[in-house]
Structure 1
Amino acid sequence: MKYLVIALKGTYCEIGGQLQSIGVPKKLFRLDRLMELGAWVSRRKSIANVLVIRHQDFHAPAFGALESIHAVLRGMAGQQKELWYYATEYDLVDIYLSGACTHRIIHPLGTLCLRGLAWQQLFFKEMLDKHGVEVDVFRRGSYKSAADPFRCTTFDQYNREQIERLLEVMVQTLSSEIMKVSAYSQQILDSLLQGATLTAADAVAKQLVTEALSEHELRNRWKQDKLSEAVKKRYRGHFGSGMRIAVLVFEGSIVDGSNREDALMGQCIGDDFMVKQIRKLRENKRIKGVVFRINSGGGSATASESIQRELRFLSAEKPLVVSIGPMAASGGYWISTPGQRVFAQATSVTGSIGVIMLHMNIRKPLQNLGLGSETVKQGEFADFGSALRSLSPTERDVLEQMVDYYYQEFLKLVGNARSMSPEQVHAYAEGRLWTGTDALKRGLVDEIGGLEEALTHLRRALKAETSRITFHPVVKQPWLARMINSNMEKDAVAASSAQAILKSCCMVQGRPLLIEPFCLGARYTTLLRD
């Protein structure tokens, strides 16, 4: 008999990187490979045990990512496999994920604690004011908070309200899953949420974990029992057999043009690239249906519309089911609207139906550095949107009109997709973020469920008993890039240089954005923290 090791290490993502370039290599934990691995394990009777090891560098940027992993682990446990979960220290991640496993192992000197969920955000307004950077924010939606780091010094009442609700639902979901592990009582859970920390011995005594062992002790035990480690040597990007179903993953911020890495928004997916991927699936006669999986905080309004239009053409020819992953907010929700049925996880962050525009004037800080500027132009508004001067009252009116136009278009789009009037949509819009649970109550999604539930629904619609699942898109790195990247060391500062951040600011200058703070400023926050 054999055992398989699943290493939770690196940053969670839905699919591999979408950038074809020589750059900083990243450690990624991929959901597509976890699902393929789960299907592979289920077919091998020789594999009795699955050991899940959470490494210290594992990072899930949203709670919905943990929910996706939990669902796959739960599916493995349902295939008559013994799942063993190991972590040196048990925190929220481990308590939640280990609930899907048969055995929970902690290091003998480890501790167990569950201190709840917190939301931290940096605010740049005072720093920008100090250096003379003028920031103008044009938005529709009191809850539209993407630019709050630039316009506020703290959470305003609307943003605080929506964040508190998001955290509340996530803690409720977490508590509900944890309580399914019989050893956890409400009293123990309340104690942990109030800051109690248990030693490994205490956790074993309370039956919150199964044993206190090191990873090596557990492996040696299995070695003595004649269990050897099984290794899946190759990932093919597909699993199963039968009718072909494609899972098209959109992961990253939405931008016009081609894919790129952005200092502020991280991985950005261009509409040109995604439209080509959608068109390929539409024209591929072997693909009978598509699940469109979204993990995006939004981005460009025009790029979102281009993608939405192409998805509509696909939906007219083939069944299209949308699966909202950790996030599909603002522009991410915009591109979900062509789905014939929309699934969201309980803790997915979605909605944010609103529009925002930014304008920055950096003339004063440049002058302080001894850099002057002068403009020669033909036409009064030839330098409209320039970062080297303030906006005129006429220009402000133009931007306000543009924001209002895009907001009304957003309301109409959602209204048509969800069978609501624009007025009804507006009641749930104003840029407000909703969890999947709350979105369902307001008719913004059709059903609570993850990627597997979306696939099951599509199989039923196609009347297919079995299916071959293929993940798209696949971006293959040139051999030279693979060779160079494998020898490069990670340099977080280089990835978010001041020059790159300045370039990012220029790119969003005066453009209509459907975006959330998870995207805008996320990398900048990391740079300042590190």
Structure 2
Amino acid sequence: MFRFLGKLVLWLFAIVGVVVVIVVAAGVVLVTQFRPQTESLPAEMVLTVDLDQAIKEGPDTGWLPGGGGRELSLGTLLEGLQRAATDDRVTGLVARVRMPEMGLAQAQEVRDAVHAFHANGKPTYLYADAMPAAGGSGTMAYYLASAFDEIWMQPSGELGLIGLSVDLPFLAATLERWGIAFEASAREDYKGAFASLTDASIPPEIEENMGRLVASWFDQMQAGVSAARGVPLEDLRRVIDRAPLLVEEAVAAGLVDRAGYLDEFRDAVRETLGAVPRLAVGDYMARRDDSRPEDARRIALVHGVGMVVPGGGEDTADFGLASQLRAEDVADAIRAAVDDERVAAIVLRLDTPGGDYVAADTVRRAVARAQARGTPVIASMGNTAASGGYFIAVQADQILASPGTVTASIGVVAGKPVIRDLSADLELTWARLSEGRNAGMWSFTEPFSLAARRALDRRLDAIYADFTARVGEARGLTAAQLDRVAGGRVFTGADALDVGLVDRLGGLREALQVAREAAALPADEPVVVAPYPAPLDPVRRLMRLLESGDLPGLTSGAGALSGPEVRALLRVLAVLDPVLGRIDGLAGPGAGGGARLWYGGPTQPAGGHGDRGRPGPD
């Protein structure tokens, strides 16, 4: 009897929890989809953007449709700026910045979009109370700010345009004092992924390579600021070497236009642009009122973001984890795009430092199969597409990178920590029972044996040979040219173009245009840019979590239920899913526009759908 009552209570907790989540999901659908469709865009408006928001790669995968909060997808931001550039209702752009979180490649795409907005005859304004040197973000903040026509700063602030600095730790001596050694093998000398663990100071090859990387980044940022502000490079360098600057010094140097407080800035902008509504980029995109032809051809947008790992979504819970490029998920997305007869080309957007070789090869194989079936694949690199990321990209028909992208790292490395001395210091003993000469080769308790080291080296040699052979064939490099770019070297996108590792410089917008050209689509043909796979709605994500047993807050209750009982809960969700779908439908056709984005031609914006940003400055 008590056992029955206990199970009944657990049932009630589980069902109540599910119902609560469903009610929340229904509320979200009503609030975030019904409301924007009933609120049309104003006849005249000023667009706003907060450049301190986290800029996210990939479509919206949050629990709340349309996202929200502190994240904004790069696709939404770029498409919003480009769409607004040709929208007669949008009269200007107002932004704020202080400590941006975006990487250099993303910042370059944003700057290009701001320049394009201004090129359509529309003014752009930016306000910052400070761009502090502390935290190292002042230079990036000003690099973004310099794309705007008019820059205001609070008189008491500072301009931290101090240049770039990268601190690299080397821990071998520290680990040795703790009784830990790190054993690694790399192909070749420039492959420095584990150098911080194996060396007590920076190796000459890594110092050379990283020094060039930082110099290239800095050269790009200096050139961008110099061109935008009309300050000669030599004068700009002298100013940077005196920074951080007082605001009055920044004004005198021609880097800031006005010193004033936020209320004064708002009054000045209002006087110029009029007292018209202000609309954040995310809200502008959510309320866009263009049509989307259902029968239009598609460019599939597939994102590969995070560390490259094996497996797919069913192997890993998707709640609260950092982004991972899960090989089977990305390969499945590519296959789904190829199987869709509406898809004319694929843009594979990569932002990954690399990872597992076999997983990277799984994705590369999917790209090759897409090409074999006649679907062109264009690789678009974000902040980073290195090592396994470049291994994937090199299979594509064309590779585009931003000037500041970190790419290449054509090499391989493997290693492990060894705690033998630490164990001795702790008087900790280990007993190993094994069969097979190399059965314990990855144990932390002993270094690699000679036989294990030979086996590891054979594996690394084979991987490196495969990697370099594919790069040489795909990029048309001679053995001598390949030797100069491989060995683990990393390059910025600008330098990678010079040595033949990428085809052209450009961001996501340019990659979509290249995909259109590769598919031989007429310039005036409407094209839909659609993320693959389509983002799951909250109910289906909830069902997936229930199936995996990883739903926070319900695990303890549902965990005591039997398999048939959990399946019964899933059936409840399955019954309610169409109900929520009907609620969704109340918002009107096209309300859930996250899975499909409009691209009206080569001069029109297109891009990913993601989180709406918080309102910008008004």
What's the CA shift for 1:177?
1.3
Which residue of 504, 521, 526 maps to 1:463?
521
Q: Is the 8 A contact 1:322 1:336 kept in 2?
A: yes
- Contact map agreement 1:355 1:406 (CA 8 A) in 2: yes
Does the 8 Å CA contact 2:334/2:532 hold for their aligned counterparts? no
Q: Is the 1:141–1:431 contact (alpha carbons within 8 Å) kept by the matching residues of 2?
A: yes
State the distance in 1 between where 2:538 and 2:444 align: 38
Q: Which residue is 2:580 aligned to? A: none
What is the aligned partner in structure 1 of residue 616 from structure 2? Answer: none
Task: Work out which of the residue numbers 448, 451, 454 in structure 2 matches 1:394.
Answer: 451
> Does 2:283 match 1:233?
yes
Q: Give the residue type in structure 1 aligned to 2:496.
A: A
Asked if residue 7 in structure 1 is aligned to residue 57 in structure 2, the reply is no
- Change in Cα spacing, 1:355 to 1:77, as seen in structure 2 (3 Å) is same
Partner of 2:609: none
Percent identity between the aligned chains? 24
Tell me the TM-score normalized by structure 2.
0.71
The match for 2:409 among 341, 348, 352 is 352
Matches within 5 A, 1:71-110: 71-90=112-131, 91-110=138-157
Match of 2:467? 410
| 3-state SS of 1:180 partner | helix
CA-CA distance at 1:481 after TM superposition: 8.5
2:307 aligned with 1:256: no
Question: Which position in structure 2 is the counterpart of 1:50?
Answer: 93
Q: Helix, strand or coil for the counterpart of 2:159?
A: strand
Retained in 2: the 8 A contact 1:4–1:230? yes
Taking the aligned partners of 1:370 and 1:17, their CA distance within structure 2 comes to 51
CA contact (8 A) 1:249 1:473 kept: no
Q: Within 5 A, what are the aligned runs for 1:49-448?
A: 49-56=92-99, 58-60=100-102, 62-90=103-131, 91-222=138-269, 225-231=274-280, 232-233=282-283, 243-258=297-312, 267-316=323-372, 317-366=374-423, 368-369=425-426, 371-422=428-479, 424-448=481-505
Q: Which amino acid aligns with 1:48?
A: T
TM-score, length-scaled by structure 1: 0.82
Measure, in 2, the Cα distance between the counterparts of 1:404 and 1:354.
10
What is the alpha-carbon distance in structure 1 between the residues aligned to residue 497 and residue 279 of structure 2? 41
Quick one: distance in 1 between partners of 2:276 and 2:477? 58
Q: Residues of 1 paired with 2:291 and 2:345: CA distance?
A: 15
Shift of the 468–480 alpha-carbon distance from structure 1 to 2, 3 Å rule, reads closer
- 2:242 counterpart SS class: coil
SS at match of 2:283: coil
Instruction: Give the match's secondary structure for 1:469.
Output: strand
Stretches of structure 2 that go unaligned for 5 or more consecutive residues are: 1-43, 132-137, 546-551, 554-618
Residue identity in the other structure for 1:289: A
Once the two structures are TM-superposed, the CA of residue 329 in structure 1 deviates from its matched residue by 1.0
Q: Closer, same or farther in 2 for the Cα pair 1:342/1:196, shift >3 Å?
A: same
Gap change, CA 1:289 and 1:175, over 3 Å in 2:
same
User: As a proportion of its length, which structure holds more strand?
Assistant: 1
Q: 8 Å contact 1:70–1:100 — kept in the other structure? A: yes
Cα gap change, 1:19 to 1:386, in 2 (>3 Å): farther
Letter in 1 for 2:346: V
Shift of 1:249: 1.9
Secondary structure of residue in 1 paired with 2:46? strand
Q: State the distance in 2 between where 1:138 and 1:247 align.
A: 36
Task: State the one-letter code of the partner of 2:155.
Answer: P
Is this contact kept in 2: 1:261–1:268, CA < 8 A? no
CA distance in 2, matches of 1:480, 1:275: 21
CA distance in 1, matches of 2:45, 2:287: 24
Deviation per CA, 1:129-166, whole angstroms, max 9, x where unpaired? Answer: 11212211111111100001111122111111011111
CA distance in 1, matches of 2:109, 2:409: 22
Please, which moves more after superposition, 141-150 or 233-242?
A: 233-242
The answer (yes or no) to whether the contact 2:188–2:412 under 8 Å persists in 1 is yes
Residues 237-270 of structure 1 show CA distances to partners (whole Å, capped at 9, x for unaligned) of: 99996542122221111011136699xx953221
Query: What do you get for the CA RMSD once the two structures are aligned?
Result: 3.1
String of CA shifts for 1:294-347, please: whole Å, max 9, x gaps: 111111111111100101111222121112222211111100012111112222
- Per-residue CA deviations over 1:214-241 (Å, capped at 9, x if unaligned) read 3343334455632221244385799996
Q: How far off is 1:39 after superposition? A: 4.0
Question: Is contact 2:303–2:330 with CA below 8 Å preserved after alignment?
Answer: no
**Contact 2:146–2:229 (Cα < 8 Å) also in 1:** no
**Which amino acid is 2:105 matched to?**
G
Asked if the contact 1:248–1:290 (Cα under 8 Å) also holds between the matched residues in 2, the reply is yes
Question: Is 1:144–1:352's contact at 8 Å kept on the other side of the alignment?
Answer: yes
Opposite residue 38 of structure 1, the aligned amino acid is L
Change (3 A) 1:269 1:399: same
Between the aligned partners of 2:73 and 2:472, the Cα distance in structure 1 is 34
Q: Give 1:348 shift.
A: 1.5
